A and B are shown apart, each in its own frame.
Chain A
Amino acid sequence: MQARLIVAAAGLAAFVLGASGPAQAGKDLDAVKARGMVNCGVGTGTAGYMIADSQGKWRGLSVDVCRAVAAAIFGDSEKVRYIPLTSQQRFTALQSGEVDMTMGNATYTLTRDTALGFDFTGVYYYDGQGFLVPKKLGVKSAKELNGATICVAPGTTTELNLADYFRTNKMTFKPVVIEKVDEIRAAFFSGRCDVYTTDASSLAATRAANVPPPQTIDDYMILPEIISKEPLGPVVRHGDNQFADIVRWALYAMIEAEEYGITSKNVDEMLKSENPSIKRILGVTPGMGKALGVDEKWVYNIVKQVGNYGESFDRNVGMGSPLKIARGQNALWTQGGLQYAPPIR
């Protein structure tokens, strides 16, 4: 008890004095290892990204990144404790140490990366504001939306981006501003507005799930123009660069595995590959795991248990899922997208 009191007092003192100093390497990683679990903050339910299925298991593209981190550290992608956080909570929970990382679909911005004391370790999904229209409107591009009635949520950057885009393109629009998402959707599908604008991932979820019968998902389309940048990344707090490195490279490993054609199905055969890059990635030629401070088989474990980025994308949000989001900007750089992992070397 006494010892604990002293530790608590010391912690308090450090907190009050502003625990600036040099970053203690390995502090968070040690805590994770001692606990045997990665505490991963997730949002409270976004179709395709983080959602508890009928059996209560968390699934989704964001969740897969948490699982990849656990697979890298423990060799077991199940060693994750999911902590549901609302968007108000997600950053304080990270600051206070309640979670080790958050995957709350947070947009990577300068202020968040610096002033809040966080590090974004990459981009697992390039999101951006798009437009959802009924096909019967006969519009193929956002440039043809002059004079359209547009449903949008108030007081968000979405509203500003919309106004900027139309001004830049010398077009006019009639905004229908509605606060609640459910009401916006109802207004859009009942025809009160021609266009619904928000982040494209959310548009895809709306299109997959909320189209009222007898209409179907094919009666609506997302226009190709994306008018804002909303890169979503894993977030860790300042102070443990090694843990941040593991989170960063867990995601890169998934992307790299896709680039080299390593999938959860063929990963065992790939161990016999002669390609020196693949040998390095899968730990056949040791060194990478040691440099990162994890098991040499870390990428093997990630790919075997979670899959590569493409598999995860397809399963959760892509064509293999009800959301049916096209790869678009999230395709590999070799296929005209933005997903580009630095080499594992």
Chain B
Amino acid sequence: MTDMPVGERQPIAPPSDDTGILGWARKNLFSSWGNGLTTIVLIVAMVWILSGFLEWALFTANFTASTGSECRGGGACWALIREKFRYIFFGSFPYEQHWRPLFAVIAMLAMLVLSADRRMWNWRLLVIWGVGSFITFLLMFGQLHIPLSLMLFVALAGGTIGLMMRSAVADPTERSAYYALIVIGLVGLVLRIFGVLPSWSLAIAPLSYVETSLWGGLPVTLILATYGLLFAFPYGILLALGRRSNLPLVKGLCVGFIELIRGVPLISLLIMASVMLPLFLPSGTTIDKFLRAQVAVILFAGAYIAEVIRGGLQSLPKGQFEAADAMGLNYPQKTLLIILPQALRVVIPPLINTFIGFFKDTSLVLIIGIFDFLNTANQALVDPNWAGFPGEVYLFAAFVYFIFCYSMSRYSKYLEVELNKGTRR
């Protein structure tokens, strides 16, 4: 055997049946007799099922019928979806104004997509959600009346939170701005309570008013899920921190609350909110049904999120807490700068899991007569002119739900990779 000079050694290409599609198939699908047989059987089964499905869903389907009876006998009746999709998406919202919920949905989606980007995770997030929510609710309600007391409360809350979070890093101008906000809010609220300030509200009314009982379809599902989780998240964090608190009263309250909420099904909370609560209120006073459902969802989601986050808190080594203490950070600083960023990163997968669960759980509001996306789809089935095609309607609803849930799950994957860059070797 003669030695070849080093520079002339040529790697020989692997045998042709080890590469390409053929090679891949041989390695993964036909590596043994048993595997080969399984592959063939499964392929045949898949083709059989798929051809049946396509035959029904595509080749013999009816896309153009004008009544349900024309549709009968053939394949899928997609004409039903064509007839009903506006109702399924927007419910009883006035028909000629459907552009409003449409743009509200777009605004909400834009808001969600924008805040998915990590570069936005700073003051921009507040702006995005502020503007996005304003647009969404302005479009849905048509008119917003912002009472003075709410504005004062927001000023007070904004000042307090800003001062707490940024007291260490803020320059004197910023700090005095926070103090000014707190003073304005506090003084204004006190004056308002004693009746010195009138009950004035800022009216923004470019469109006709549409009340929540007319809302339906996708906007309802999105609002219930988005705002349910938006409010449940900070509140869940507070519960989780409270549960680990050293103060027995705070700890007891948080534990009691979490266990109480987690111990009952969401349905029972919703029924409580819709059936029991009105009986406890003075007669004549009613709280909007939609708001009641929203609050029930927030309470419920908060308890679950709290437990997920507690898992993250417990996974942190004790050294992190001690190191933060050693640096002289106070409790808010320690929590916000050291503990939560690490704890939340750990719990992203279970957190998104909870989010996806709640997005779908919002459909339970149908038992209290709120017409979310699934319920409007159900309503489309009741119409005697079009009844008898549950498969088509539910497939359509499932498809829309899948789009949302699958994008959330992909996002969680991306976020895990993004946030764990620092810990990967």
Contacts and interface: CB of A to CB of B under 8 A. Distances in A.
Interface of A: 1-2, 8, 11-12, 14-15, 19, 31, 44-48, 51-58, 81-86, 88-89, 92-93, 95-98, 182, 205, 208-214, 321-323
A196 to B, nearest CB: 16
A231 to B, nearest CB: 23
A47 B275 contact: no
Contacts of A56: 86-87, 90-95, 214, 216
Contact of A44 (B90, B286, B375): B375
B84 interface: yes
B199 A1 contact: yes
B263 interface: no
Contact of A1 (B92, B192, B275): B192
30 contacts: A1-B193, A11-B282, A11-B283, A44-B369, A44-B371, A45-B382, A47-B384, A47-B387, A52-B92, A54-B380, A54-B383, A55-B86, A56-B87, A56-B94, A57-B92, A58-B92, A81-B211, A84-B213, A84-B369, A89-B275, A92-B278, A93-B278, A96-B279, A182-B390, A208-B384, A208-B387, A209-B68, A210-B387, A321-B384, A323-B384
A8 B282 contact: yes
Contacts of B283: 11, 14-15, 19, 96-97
A81 B193 CA distance: 34
B384 A322 contact: yes
A11, A45, A95: most-surrounded residue (chain B CB, <10 A): A45
B261 interface: no
A205 B289 CA distance: 30
Nearest to B383: A51
B289 A98 contact: yes
* Chain A residues touching B, majority SS: loop
A211 B388 contact: yes
Interface in B372-425: 375, 378-380, 382-385, 387-388, 390
B72 interface: yes
B366 A96 contact: no
A1 B197 CA distance: 11
A86 B286 contact: no
A116 to B, nearest CB: 12
A52 B213 contact: no
A34 B68 CA distance: 43
Given A209-B384, A210-B388, 9 more contacts: A31-B284, A51-B383, A52-B92, A88-B367, A98-B278, A205-B384, A322-B384, A322-B385, A323-B384
Q: 4 shortest A-B CB distances, which residue pairs?
A: A209-B387, A11-B282, A96-B278, A56-B92
A97 B284 contact: yes
Interface of B: 68, 72-73, 83-84, 86-87, 90-95, 192-193, 195, 199, 211, 213-214, 216, 271, 274-276, 278-279, 281-286, 289, 366-371, 375, 378-380, 382-385, 387-388, 390
Given A56-B216, A92-B278, A214-B73, A97 B387 contact: no
Contact of A54 (B87, B93, B271): B87
Given A44-B375, A51-B379, A58-B92, A83 B282 contact: no
B368 A86 contact: yes
Nearest to B385: A322
A97 B285 CA distance: 8
Contact of A47 (B195, B274, B378, B382): B382
Nearest to B284: A97
A12 B95 contact: no
B195 A55 contact: no
A212 B278 contact: no
A31 B68 CA distance: 42
A114 B402 CA distance: 49
Nearest to B98: A56
Contacts, number: 126
Contact of B284 (A11, A89, A323): A11
A210 B391 CA distance: 13
Contact of A53 (B72, B213, B383): B383
Contacts of B193: 1
Nearest to B288: A98
A153 B391 CA distance: 23
Contacts of B378: 45
Contacts of A58: 92
Nearest to A207: B384
A52 B384 contact: no
Contacts of B279: 92, 95-96
B77 to A, nearest CB: 11
Contacts of A97: 278, 283-286
Contacts of A46: 382
Contacts of B380: 54
A14, A55, A81, A95: most-surrounded residue (chain B CB, <10 A): A55
B282 A89 contact: no
B376 to A, nearest CB: 8
B328 to A, nearest CB: 44
Contacts of A182: 390
B282 A86 contact: no
Nearest to A8: B282
B275 to A, nearest CB: 5
A266 B83 CA distance: 33
B387 A92 contact: no
B221 to A, nearest CB: 16
Nearest to A81: B213
Nearest to B287: A98
Contacts of B87: 52-56
A82 B216 CA distance: 13
A85 B216 CA distance: 14
Nearest to A19: B283
Contacts of B369: 44, 83-86, 89
Contact of A96 (B213, B281, B379, B385): B281
